[in-house]
Chain A
């Protein structure tokens, strides 16, 4: 039995036993190479699940949808390691109760084969070591290093061009599992910290604020980067922030679910070479 069939029947079993009220997985998409999130409430619907190497979205973002888990019932969800990582972060930030999430874990190997991951509860997955060893794709590192090698003026010009494309559609925020705030800082208007206008300055504000709010919290799932309709390389900022918290605080977001959020904790001997 392939993993797709196996997980279909597991999802169906979870639903028919009443253990979970809903399973979030993937279904066929609008074209042959697309998969779309699919919500199954009945064992029959679970037969529509698709699981293959095209299932790249991070479905954990739906776990923080308003009201989804407020009834205390359990939800099943298909997650890759980056999704498991974001669930760890959500738990460490007290946004999820571990017992409410049943994980159907899978990994995509060398871009084509799908393997099942052992375990159902978040505590079954010890992904910490693996995550520490993860290296971002070479083209990301290369692009980020290229930017770091520029002069400050050149860097500013680079991001000015990129951010001037932003249309403030907030797709990056909406798809991100870590962007769960019910009222995002850009939606706050008394005072209006971030202008709603999407002129270049306003876009700078927005993109810097989002990058900062994700610093040390990003699961590197790449959802924001893929969602951006104007192709701003958001991955580069995320990568740079992740690198900083790691080198400064030896912190890797989502290693486990009991870590203390990096910017909500401190060590007395944190580095401070830049402080006069």
Chain B
């Protein structure tokens, strides 16, 4: 017997969480784009999407974020730190790959300096993951050792029942337990079976990939030049990635006042590494593409012991020229050694 939440209790569930002081965010499709947005009613949720186009990362690390407001006076500079308002949030219907993304980025934002903007939001948020019941051609979580029912990053894990009427509920953390407590009267005991997890074929051998990347001989390999030829160097694979986290600090304003902001930046951009002198150490798209792959499957691993990819497949799904990491990693897997 496990506790289950029925779909028809979702409205009550949202109400209960709101009563407990939470905003509820879930996958929504608005203005032709799917993302996580605040919902008040269950029917606003788009729970049958394989994956939202935008990731949940946006909600913790927004594309642009004000940090400091400043005014330059004659003799002094006045500045004021801008911090996001504290807001308790429940993220309902997060996919395992997106939830993993948060867990993967945690060490990055807390490593030499604790990023209050990230952790302020993390600590006030509860992640309710729903295991996948479908996958598309681009999903590849299993290739990076995750799975369609991975609980990584989840505070509460929901597993769809095979008749589609609801989900099995399991709390995975203290925050999750507390959240489940707020809806305990809406749950019921049941022996209903969970639906089978979809099969996601492994597309590449991540061990082999990591081994090849770790070999310094390969850094200057012709392989990089060939594989990245068609990359046009937009930032969409990085901006839609649940783990890409590069940013740039910009002062926006005039001579006397302004706002310092933290804006997304992308290693795909030619400007990313451009020096003031005009010298650019990564002066071709292939070196930029190599950076993206190396960062995810070598450097990040070396620093934090985990690969910076959740296998969500977005980088391939939306690439205007059908690139994405899958093809590259497949090609590396198949290289003669």
Indicate, yes or no, whether A interacts with B.
Answer: yes
A261 to chain B, nearest CB (A): 24
Which stretch, A4-12, A94-102, A196-204, touches the partner chain B? A196-204
The count of residues in chain A whose C-beta lies closer than 8 Å to any C-beta of chain B is: 38
Chain B residues within an 8 Å CB radius of A167: 63, 235-236, 239, 264
B326 within 8 A of A: yes
Taking a contact as CB atoms under 8 Å apart, the answer to whether A229 and B327 are in contact is no
Taking a contact as CB atoms under 8 Å apart, the answer to whether B63 and A175 are in contact is no
Per-position 1/0 for A31-73, Cβ under 8 A of B? 1001111110000000000000000010001100000000000
A231 within 8 A of B: yes
B4 to chain A, nearest CB (A): 35
Contacts A171-B235, A174-B232 given; indicate if A36 touches B322 (C-beta within 8 A): yes
Contact partner of A202 (CB less than 8 A), chosen from B33, B64, B229, is B64
B40 within 8 A of A: no
Taking a contact as CB atoms under 8 Å apart, the answer to whether A35 and B318 are in contact is no
Contact partner of A34 (CB less than 8 A), chosen from B63, B236, B250, B322, is B322
Total contacts A-B at CB 8 Å: 99
Taking a contact as CB atoms under 8 Å apart, the answer to whether B318 and A229 are in contact is yes
Contact partner of A170 (CB less than 8 A), chosen from B235, B263, B316, B321, is B235
* Most chain B CB within a 10 A radius of its CB, from A165, A170, A198, A231: A170
B266 within 8 A of A: yes
Per-position 1/0 for A212-254, Cβ under 8 A of B? 0000000000010011011101000000000000000000000
Bound CA span A171–B318, Å: 10
Contact partner of A229 (CB less than 8 A), chosen from B137, B230, B239, is B239
* Most chain B CB within a 10 A radius of its CB, from A36, A173, A230: A230
Chain B residues within an 8 Å CB radius of A202: 64
Taking a contact as CB atoms under 8 Å apart, the answer to whether A170 and B252 are in contact is no
The count of residues in chain B whose C-beta lies closer than 8 Å to any C-beta of chain A is: 37
Bound CA span A28–B308, Å: 28
Chain A residues within an 8 Å CB radius of B53: 229-231
B234 within 8 A of A: yes
Taking a contact as CB atoms under 8 Å apart, the answer to whether B324 and A30 are in contact is yes
Contact partner of B64 (CB less than 8 A), chosen from A37, A197, A233, is A197
B45 to chain A, nearest CB (A): 19
A266 to chain B, nearest CB (A): 34
Per-position 1/0 for A151-174, Cβ under 8 A of B? 000000000011001011111011
Taking a contact as CB atoms under 8 Å apart, the answer to whether B54 and A230 are in contact is yes
Contacts A36-B230, A174-B232 given; indicate if A30 touches B138 (C-beta within 8 A): yes
Contact partner of B229 (CB less than 8 A), chosen from A39, A169, A230, is A39
B240 within 8 A of A: yes
Chain B residues within an 8 Å CB radius of A18: none
B299 within 8 A of A: no
B261 within 8 A of A: yes
24 contacts between A and B (CB under 8 A): A30-B326, A31-B138, A37-B229, A37-B230, A37-B321, A167-B236, A168-B63, A169-B234, A169-B239, A171-B234, A174-B232, A187-B271, A196-B250, A198-B64, A198-B264, A202-B64, A223-B320, A226-B320, A227-B234, A229-B236, A229-B318, A230-B33, A231-B33, A231-B53
B-to-A contact residues, CB < 8 Å:
31-33, 53-54, 63-64, 137-138, 229-230, 232-236, 238-240, 248, 250, 252, 261, 263-264, 266, 269, 271, 316, 318, 320-324, 326-327
A-B contacts besides A174-B234, A227-B236, A227-B320, 19 pairs, CB < 8 Å: A30-B138, A30-B324, A30-B327, A31-B138, A34-B322, A57-B320, A57-B321, A168-B235, A169-B236, A169-B266, A170-B235, A175-B234, A175-B321, A187-B271, A223-B320, A226-B320, A229-B53, A229-B236, A230-B33
